[in-house]
Amino acid sequence: MPQSVKATPIEKENIVVDGVDISGQWNRMFEQRVIFRYTPENIEEIAALPGAESLAYCYQCAKCIGVCPVDIVGDYGPRKIYRKAQTGTVLVDSPDLWLCTTCQNCLRVCPKEVNMIKIMPAVREVAVNQGTVPPELQKAFENTARYGNPLGENPRKRAEWTKDAGVPVTIMAQAKRAVDVLWYVSTYTSYHQRGKDAARAMARVFTALGVDFGILGAEEKDDGDSQRLAGEKGLFEMLAEQNIATFGKYQFNKLVVTGPHEFNAFKNLYPQYNGNYDVAHYTQFLAPKVDQLKPLFKKSLNKKVTFHDPCYLGRHNGEYDAPRDLLRAIPGVELIEMPRNRVNGYCCGGGGGGMWLDSFSRDYTTMRLSDRRVVEAVETGADVLAVCCPFEVSRFEDAVKATGNAGKLVVRDVIELVDEAMK
């Protein structure tokens, strides 16, 4: 593989043109010179992969670099990936392949529509097939294939959180009846200690509102979208088929999901596999019900709250208002924004497989994206960092400790704040 060659400037020592002395660096511009030995074949190889064609469109304007969250803690972005490939780097063998979180901020500003959301999964699939996946990601893939969730948790324990919810939770296989709302709880909400707090809060809020809901319990499997974006399309397709078959066993009107990644999968991907649902993120389901919620609030929280837009609810699916409407409805919540918000929201680092690549990424970044985001949240003076993605509570709580901000900021799911104000 040809290596990049640094340019050696050509300078002539004694040049005078029309009486003007242009010796040394002043005559560089008059000489043609080879700056780099290019490797366009590296770009062509990537662009030949189905879905990755748009990498070849890059014209190096660098608009993407200013908004790429990874560049803020490292040296990254589509322009740099293109340039490195053009000058010798083979992306499929480079650590750069695993740093993109598919946050979509670059696509938002790119005049040429270079689409990393399609390029990255396509190139990562090559790495999956050649067996060069970082070990921690490989483990998440194997757990998903074996247990139906990337954590390697026992599927039979998926609904254990319901025991402490304080309200009855209908499990579809046991109830054998139609429900209005099938609530897809999600992996991290079902198993992670803090996720389970959000699950219990959701069950209580639904119950208080009189929502007729049920869950799949042990039958629920991970949606698979993050595994797809990390390069395991086959695994995603297997999970989509299994989840669609399970949904098909039951009667329901609306599919409500806890997480933006599942929302993205069920809304945008599952229809390609004949899974068509009236799907809503839980904030979208609850926001139109704020007039019903308000009489149920019993106390004022008296907190300054800042909200982190999940990439897959915001940029990917255009929903910025529903979580904010819910937060504003809670008595005693003062909503303050971080400088990067809504379309330009910063990424928590968990998307596109990033959830399972923190150890790997540590060697190529100065700090985790979640740490960077927590610093921004603390700088607003907020008491609470509100989230509505199951990946985020664990990421940000860890980041609060890692950045030495324990005691200054707490992390709460929006649904936990709604529930807290009802007590």
Q: Please identify, using beta-carbon distances, which residue of 114 and 216 lies nearer to ligand SF4.
A: 114
Q: How far is the CB of 121 from ligand SF4 (least distance, A)?
A: 11
Which residues are CB-neighbours of 190 under 8 A, at least 6 positions away? 149, 153, 158, 159, 161, 196, 199, 220
389 φ/ψ angles, rounded to the nearest 5 degrees: -135, 130
Residue type, 51: G
Q: Which of 9, 111 has the CB closer to ligand SF4?
A: 111
CB of 270 to ligand SF4, least distance (A): 22
CA 63 to chain centre: 21
CA 185 – CA 157 distance, rounded (Å): 13
Least spacing, CB of residue 305 vs ligand SF4, in Å: 26
Query: Smallest gap, in angstroms, from Cβ of residue 78 to ligand SF4?
Result: 4
Q: How many CB atoms lie within 10 A of CB 274?
A: 10
Least CB distance to ligand SF4 at residue 258 (A): 23
| C-beta closer to ligand SF4: residue 68 or 387 | 68
Q: How far is the CB of 182 from ligand SF4 (least distance, A)?
A: 31
Residues 6+ apart with CB under 8 A from 176: none
- Distance of closest approach, residue 141 Cβ to ligand SF4, in angstroms: 20
CB of 175 to ligand SF4, least distance (A): 41
Residue 62 or 406: the one with the smaller Cβ distance to ligand SF4 is 62
Instruction: Identify the helix (H) or strand (E) that includes residue 322.
Output: helix 321-329
Q: Give me the residues that bind ligand SF4 (CB under 6 A), please.
A: 58-64, 67-70, 77-79, 100-106, 109-112, 114, 116
CB of 192 to ligand SF4, least distance (A): 24
- Are 292 and 211 a contacting pair, CB within 8 Å? no
Q: What is the closest distance, in whole angstroms, from the C-beta atom of residue 109 to ligand SF4 in the complex?
A: 6
Q: Each residue of 339-362: b (16+ CB within 10 Å) or e?
A: ebbeeebbbbbbbbbbbbbbebbe
* Closer by beta carbon to ligand SF4, 114 or else 386: 114
Q: Give SS3 for 357.
A: coil
Measured from the CB atom, the residue of 13 and 113 that comes closer to ligand SF4 is 113
Compare residues 82 and 191 and give the one whose CB is closer to ligand SF4.
Answer: 82
For ligand SF4, the closer of residues 100 and 382 by Cβ is 100
* Phi-psi sector, 231: left (phi>0), alpha (psi -120 to 50), beta: left
Q: Which is nearer to ligand SF4, 149 or 365 (CB)?
A: 365
Nearer to ligand SF4, 5 or 61 (CB): 61
Nearest to 351 by CA among 414, 261, 267, 250: 261
CB of 63 to ligand SF4, least distance (A): 4
Measured distance CA(26)–CA(356) in Å, rounded: 52
Between strands 252-257 and 303-307, the pairing is unpaired
**Euclidean distance between CA atoms 243 and 256, whole angstroms:** 14
Tokens read off for 141: 């893939």
Report CA-CA distances (Å) from 123 to 76, 179, 231, 270, 306: 17, 42, 7, 22, 36
Would you say 131 or 318 has its CB closer to ligand SF4?
318
Residues 6+ apart with CB under 8 A from 229: 102, 117, 120, 121, 124, 351, 352, 353
- For 4, counting Cβ atoms within 10 Å of its Cβ (0-12 exposed, 13-18 middle, 19+ buried), the class is middle
